[in-house]
């Protein structure tokens, strides 16, 4: 199979995914910030459709 990550990953690692492929490993702090931003975007979109 084709792998885009040169370094091995472990269970519990955070990764950046683009169109179904792992593009980069990120640290937990960056992952948490991204999740918070995505949740804020989803919340705003839901409020706009109400």
Higher-scoring residue by pLDDT: 14, 37: 37
Buried b / exposed e across 37-50, counting CB within 10 Å, b at 16+?
A: eeeeeeeeeeeeee
- 19-40 pLDDT per residue, tens: 777 777 888 998 999 999 999 9
Contact 39, 48 (CB under 8 A): no
DSSP state of 30: H
Residue 24 parent element (H or E):
strand 21-26
Structure-token pair, residue 34: 């991204």
Global pTM reads 0.57
């Amino acid at each position: 199979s084709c792998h885009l990550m040169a370094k091995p990953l472990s269970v519990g690692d955070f990764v950046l995914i683009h169109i179904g492929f792992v593009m980069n490993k990120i640290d937990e702090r960056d992952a948490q910030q991204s999740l918070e931003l995505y949740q804020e975007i989803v919340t705003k979109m839901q409020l706009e459709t109400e």
